[in-house]
Structure 1
């Protein structure tokens, strides 16, 4: 239940509704790209959190403090941006970027203690099945919340839509805070702690681990490849393809279809990971994920929603399986005492890559603003450039960088 509530909070506070809100208060594509970049770099706070986790040994308390601050400050950022916009004062978009990034910094600090807590709580041989079942519950909850919310906004008068979005943000914040309180009933197993919790030495351990480096390289390369195309995807379909006039259809196509596919296959793919191995599932899951940008070249205002819906439904089982397999390797590769730091360092590789990709997308959006190319009557613009870059880099990562990855370190394998 807590997983479902947390996912409902995250979906309502981000994605389509946040982009709709930001566009209404005048955010530009450049500001969206900068928000993506800064937000990604703020996630580097996980390294600080991992060190604190190993030193204090109380994962539940650290998670509670960080996540509570994140969810409260995120709502405060929306309220501040709205007030600046209502008062016709400048920099409403900048206020949203700054406060949302600060919330992201605090929220990221909750990840290492939470994943370490989860890995100790769930038996390794049941990890994939458990996460698949949890993902199914979360997907059903999001579908039952997000689709009615989008339908409601489409049906009400234009002058009330922004107010309704703010109400959904407030409701999501209440659900998110209630989710934190309910986490208190989940037991926290004793934590394996290091004899010498020196932060710098612990932080360097994953980087010096040659067996772990292929995983870090793949994480960095894949995150950059996917983010440079995805950073402005929602902005593009809402603003340039007119999907902001049909939020219900947009939510169904971009989120609902994906979650339906994930829900129908979550238990099966989770069991497959436990039996066939996480690396095998990663290979085919990421390969399918890699070819998705090829379809973006064919998006038009008339076909974007149904084409997105078909692709996302298929992605529901392939992409969710790939992510489940990725997380199993990430949490099971290191020895238990080093788990929080390994998770933090691997996540930080993703965040640095995502920040660089978001910044690159923002700069391309500024440099190519209004640029078009029409060979033989076929129209190409900014988003086609981003899709082409993303497609090439994704294929390289999926085809060549997964093979060297090991599922468990030699020390963990020997102990098992």
Structure 2
């Protein structure tokens, strides 16, 4: 019965969890922040929060107990603590955005070690020869569910008074996130290999020269992505003229296409390695902001075309980045390798988000969003070309 039973449960658990994660860190919380009057700098900080949270991933090496119990408790606390952020719209105007940022950040900081714990657990649960296919299918399905959620959320947000529609969706997301914790606890956990002390394990991982070079590329990539990342949805709404319902439809097109592309990338990764997938998907993701910049209220079709490019790129890229880290890692020090991966991701994304806020505040271009997105395109392309080198 195992690991098949737990792998099926993991998919259902992910379906519920992705609703919370998408709504609390993506399109809906960005729309909520806009409705509360967030400035470009506040939007950049909101986009930086998931990456700032990754700075706490080393705590995973020092936590004691089995991975399943720790992941369940941390997820439970983080999702409960998002409730004040969802209710921030009821506060006096000057308190709304700071309260949203504070509790959204606190929620994500508490959940930060879960990524390492969960991925280490899943690496023991999923047979190595199936990782590409399993995670390719799981991630593509979760992408579809999450974006259907965004579409439904957009419909609610457009039809209820601001910001009540956003609040209703965010509260529903908290409920889905709490239910996912119950399913997480029903899955089995294989025994974990004994590992050296945290400091020694981190030293072993850091002394791996090839892995250190890979971490440098991860850092640069997420920095490049997040220079423009916080402004994609505001650009779609303010420049492209899309309603939140249409933003949700955009994400549905991307996710539906990702359900096709994800398993294809997964099979390619199982046959030829994750490096091949990284090289091709990063190039597509690097060129994609050009489509956004071509779009406008009068000429929106490049924005809609970018939904297909988004699916083609990210249905393989995110999975390949994490699986390439796993492929580098010896089993006995796997967690330390994953900690360094999440740190590189978090530091790169945080630095990119801070740069995004500074660039947007210059006020150059037709909108505050054009210059950061253009800069992101150039930086992404530079990193993607480095990934294409042997």
Instruction: Give the TM-score, by structure 1 length.
Output: 0.86
SS across alignment from 1:26: coil
Q: Kindly tell me the number of residue pairs found equivalent between the two proteins.
A: 379
Residue 337 (str. 1) matches residue 332 (str. 2): yes
1:314 is aligned to 2:318: no
Q: 1:139 to 1:401 in 2, by over 3 A?
A: closer
User: What is the aligned partner in structure 1 of residue 323 from structure 2?
Assistant: 328
Aligned to 1:251: 248
1:322-341 deviations in Å (ceiling 9; x for gaps): 22222211122101121111
Q: Structure 1 residues 385-394 or 346-355, which shifts more?
A: 385-394
Unaligned runs of 5+ in 1: 373-379, 405-416
**What residue in structure 1 maps to residue 292 of structure 2?**
296
Residue equivalent to 1:135: 139
Q: Identify the residue that residue 171 of structure 1 maps to in structure 2.
A: 172
1:120 alignment partner in structure 2: 124
2:78 corresponds in structure 1 to: 70
Residues 383, 143 of structure 1: CA spacing in aligned structure 2 closer, same or farther, 3 A cutoff? closer
Q: State the shift of 1:319 in Å.
A: 2.5
Determine the C-alpha separation between the residues in 2 that align with 1:303 and 1:276.
40
- Cα offset for 1:39? 4.3
Is contact 2:257-2:311 (8 Å) kept? yes
How many angstroms does 1:36 deviate by? 2.9
Q: Distance in 1 between matches of 2:144 and 2:52?
A: 31
The range that moved more, 268-277 or 182-191, is: 268-277
2:204 aligned partner = 205
Per the normalisation by structure 2, the TM-score is 0.91
- Is 1:281 the equivalent of 2:282? no
Q: 1:91 to 1:315 in 2, by over 3 A?
A: same
What's the RMSD between the two structures over aligned residues?
Answer: 1.9
Mapped contact 2:205–2:336 kept (Cα < 8 A): yes
Deviation at 1:299, TM superposition (A): 2.0
Please say if residues 360 and 372 of structure 2, whose CA atoms lie closer than 8 Å, have aligned partners that are also in contact.
no
Provide the rounded CA distance (Å) in 1 between the counterparts of 2:122 and 2:338.
12
The whole-number CA distance in structure 2 between the counterparts of 1:140 and 1:31 is 28
Contact 2:283–2:385 (CA<8 Å) still a contact in 1? yes
Inter-partner Cα distance in structure 2 for 1:187 and 1:238: 43
**Unaligned ranges ≥5, structure 2:** 1-11
Give the 3 Å change call, closer, same or farther, for CA 38–173 of structure 1 in structure 2. Answer: closer
1:348 is matched with 343
- The aligned residue for residue 7 of structure 2 is none
Equivalent residue in structure 2 for 1:396, among 376, 382, 385: 382
Alignment of 1:92-103 (within 5 A): 92-103=96-107
Aligned equivalents of 1:181, 1:300: Cα separation in 2: 44
d(CA) in 2 for partners of 1:91 and 1:144? 31
Q: Which stretch has the larger CA shift, 212-221 or 380-389?
A: 380-389
**CA contact under 8 A between 1:221 and 1:353: conserved in structure 2?**
yes
Aligned to 1:110: 114
- 1:40 correspondence with 2:51: yes
